[in-house]
């Protein structure tokens, strides 16, 4: 068994960081070609990150005991927005407790109620899109997914409260565009300095304004009593094991977590979908036929699975901090390094997916995605809590857009991946030509 770390580049950590930030996927490919299927990257001021890209090793990571690997510690960069009580930042017992409180949110009847809301918001927004010969869809999809998640969380109707939350939150989330927000573990003092000068000036002020609006919603809803179909209502009914309700701070942190985790990820995944569909007329035609026939949505599901395979928007999923030495694939990792199940490299391994760079939804009709070979939503006890909501939302948005518009590519070149917030999105924001269609024939 080997105890040192797998090989990796020896250039300065800053250059490795710039490489991954500026060419998030190509850089990973280059390192795999050079160092093999597991390699180590080092960024400035962080622990080493070991990239794991083989299914057996991914399984070992996802099934490791909770006290051995800590994904919560690996996600610290999100703390300034989501807060210390966020399920994403916690580990072991504290994580399980928050996860149990959140689980009912996206289950059964709750999901049915959210389906109506997502459909209503999507159809209204998509129908109102201005028809332009050439348009970058990503900003529209961001506005749409923000609207959906905001309405799903707070159950608010159009009005001052929704407008105030929408504008402040959009501003708060836009700070994530800057690599400086990825400074690991900023101390309160560092944050204060960053708030006064430079590119994330005003961050703390905006966060305070957002917090005030969120706490107002929590107070108002507590006074009025729950009972709605929205996520806040579900969480107000949730109880800890000792029977106590969630505190206002816990509610605030989990609501912010759902906003942050659920908005940009889905917007970027949808952006990749439309950027791709505009260049795949055969796939688009089959999807349009399926939508017109109104029978099942197997091909739409397979198309989404293929988009998430080709472009997992969190290619490094959540890094796991090693707390106690662990053996993975015959290699012993010491405490203090981060293990990363790398979705992008796993999804582009010709031993798992023949012709991995080809876009072919049919592959998922032939064989459904595997737990440890298809990981856009991560896995194990940390698997994305909103995965079924995200898939539902993507289906509704894609169906609505292709029923309303014809899609063509706007430029001649395929869009390169660029980092935005925590996700990887198409460089030109999914530039397409939209043309409003005549209504599709209604299924008998
Ligand atoms: C296409 C859209 C989405 C993608 C690709 C995605 C992906 C991910 C990934 C990779 C993780 C880390 C999993 C791991 O480390 O094993 C995660 C965690 C999480 N996601 Fe998502 N996500 C999406 C949408 C959503 C939505 C819509 C919500 C909620 C509204 C959501 C809520 C969460 C939460 C709460 C966690 C933390 C789970 C935990 O730590 O226990 N996500 N997501």
CA–centroid distance, residue 20 to ligand 1 (Å)? 21
CA–centroid distance, residue 88 to ligand 1 (Å)? 9
Residue of higher predicted confidence among 117 and 3? 117
**Domain contains 292:** yes
Mutation test of ligand 1: which of 76, 261, 273 has the most ligand atoms closer than 8 Å to its C-beta? 261
Q: Cα separation of 269 and 312, whole Å?
A: 8
pLDDT reported for residue 443: 47
Our answer on whether the CB atom of 274 is closer than 6 Å to any ligand 1 atom is no
> Per the structure block, which two tokens stand in for 9?
């580049």
Our answer on whether the CB atom of 217 is closer than 6 Å to any ligand 1 atom is no
Q: Which residues pair with 38 in a beta bridge?
A: 52
The residue contributing the CA closest to ligand 1 atom 36 is: 384
- The H helix count followed by the E strand count for the chain is 18, 12
Overall average pLDDT of the 167-193 stretch:
71
Our answer on whether the CB atom of 384 is closer than 6 Å to any ligand 1 atom is yes
Q: Cα separation of 368 and 230, whole Å?
A: 31
**Domain contains 381:** yes
Mutation test of ligand 1: which of 81, 98, 100, 377 has the most ligand atoms closer than 8 Å to its C-beta? 377
Checking if the pLDDT of 39 tops 90, the result is yes
**Domain contains 323:** yes
Q: Which atom of ligand 1 is nearest to the CA of 389?
A: 27
Q: Which atom of ligand 1 is nearest to the CA of 382?
A: 41
Q: Which residues pair with 69 in a beta bridge?
A: 322
Checking if the pLDDT of 360 tops 70, the result is yes
**Domain contains 408:** yes
The residue contributing the CA closest to ligand 1 atom 41 is: 382
Residue corresponding to tokens 């472009």: 311
Checking if the pLDDT of 181 tops 80, the result is no
**Domain contains 7:** no
Overall average pLDDT of the 54-60 stretch:
98
Query: Range with the lowest mean pLDDT among 24-28, 34-38, 105-109, 428-432?
Result: 105-109
User: Measuring CA to CA, how many Å separate 433 from each of 287, 410, 436, 438, 440?
Assistant: 18, 5, 10, 16, 19
Residue of higher predicted confidence among 370 and 16? 370
Residue-averaged pLDDT of the chain: 89
Our answer on whether the CB atom of 423 is closer than 6 Å to any ligand 1 atom is no
What's the CATH number where 421 sits? 1.10.630.10
Our answer on whether the CB atom of 72 is closer than 6 Å to any ligand 1 atom is no
Our answer on whether the CB atom of 386 is closer than 6 Å to any ligand 1 atom is yes
**Domain contains 222:** yes
Burial 35-68 (b: 16+ CB within 10 A, else e): bebbbbbbbeebbbbbbbbbbebbbbbbebebeb
**Domain contains 3:** no
pLDDT reported for residue 314: 92
> Per the structure block, which two tokens stand in for 276?
């791709």
DSSP secondary structure letter of residue 377: T
The answer to whether 337 and 347 have CB atoms below 8 angstroms apart is: no
Predicted structure pTM score: 0.93
Residue corresponding to tokens 């999507």: 122
The residue contributing the CA closest to ligand 1 atom 11 is: 384
**Domain contains 6:** no
Query: Range with the lowest mean pLDDT among 1-5, 154-158, 265-269?
Result: 1-5
Q: Cα separation of 73 and 77, whole Å?
A: 9
pLDDT reported for residue 363: 97
* pLDDT single digits (tens) 248-286: 999 999 999 999 899 999 999 999 999 999 999 999 999
Domain count, the chain: 1
Q: Which atom of ligand 1 is nearest to the CA of 102?
A: 35
Given phi > 0 = left and psi -120 to 50 = alpha, else beta, which region is 202? Answer: left
Residue 319 belongs to what domain range?
13-436
CA–centroid distance, residue 35 to ligand 1 (Å)? 29
**Which of 16-20, 290-294, 428-432 reaches the highest mean pLDDT?**
428-432
């Amino acid at each position: 068994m080997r105890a040192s770390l797998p090989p990796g580049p020896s250039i300065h950590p800053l250059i490795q960081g710039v490489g991954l930030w500026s060419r998030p996927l190509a850089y990973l490919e280059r390192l795999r070609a050079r160092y093999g299927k597991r390699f180590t990257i080092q960024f400035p001021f962080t622990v080493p990150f070991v990239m794991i890209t083989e299914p057996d090793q991914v399984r070992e990571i996802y099934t490791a005991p909770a006290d051995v690997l800590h994904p919560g510690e690996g996600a610290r960069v999100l703390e300034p927005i989501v807060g210390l009580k966020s399920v994403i930042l916690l580990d072991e017992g504290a994580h399980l407790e928050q996860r149990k409180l959140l689980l009912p949110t996206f289950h059964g009847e709750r999901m049915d109620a959210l389906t109506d809301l997502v459909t209503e918001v999507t159809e209204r927004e998509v129908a109102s899109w201005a028809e332009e010969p050439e348009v970058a869809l990503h900003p529209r999809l961001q506005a749409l997914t923000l609207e959906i998640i905001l309405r799903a969380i707070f159950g608010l109707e159009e009005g001052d409260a929704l407008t105030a939350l929408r504008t402040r939150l959009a501003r708060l989330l836009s700070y994530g565009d800057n690599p400086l927000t990825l400074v690991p573990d900023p101390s309160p003092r560092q944050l204060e300095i960053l708030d006064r000068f430079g590119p994330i000036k005003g961050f703390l002020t905006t966060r305070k304004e957002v917090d005030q609006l969120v706490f107002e919603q929590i107070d108002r809803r507590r006074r009025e009593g729950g009972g709605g179909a929205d996520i806040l209502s579900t969480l107000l009914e949730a109880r800890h094991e000792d029977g106590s309700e969630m505190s206002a701070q816990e509610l605030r942190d989990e609501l912010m977590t759902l906003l942050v985790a659920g908005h940009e990820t889905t917007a970027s995944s949808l952006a990749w979908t439309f950027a791709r569909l505009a260049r795949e007329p055969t796939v688009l035609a089959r999807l349009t036929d399926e939508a017109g026939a109104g029978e099942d949505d197997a091909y739409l599901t397979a198309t989404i699975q293929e988009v998430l395979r080709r472009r997992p928007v969190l290619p490094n999923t959540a890094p796991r901090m090693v707390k106690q030495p662990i053996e993975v694939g015959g290699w012993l990792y010491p405490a203090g390094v981060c293990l990363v199940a790398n979705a992008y490299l796993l999804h582009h391994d010709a031993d798992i997916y023949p012709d991995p760079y080809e876009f072919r939804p049919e592959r998922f009709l032939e064989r459904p995605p595997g737990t440890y070979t298809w990981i856009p939503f991560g896995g194990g006890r940390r698997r994305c809590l909103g995965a079924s909501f995200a898939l539902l939302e993507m289906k509704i948005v894609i169906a609505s857009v292709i029923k309303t518009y014809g899609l063509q590519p706007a430029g001649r070149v395929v869009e390169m991946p660029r980092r935005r917030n925590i996700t990887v999105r198409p460089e030109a924001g999914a530039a397409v030509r939209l043309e409003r269609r005549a209504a599709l024939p209604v299924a008998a």
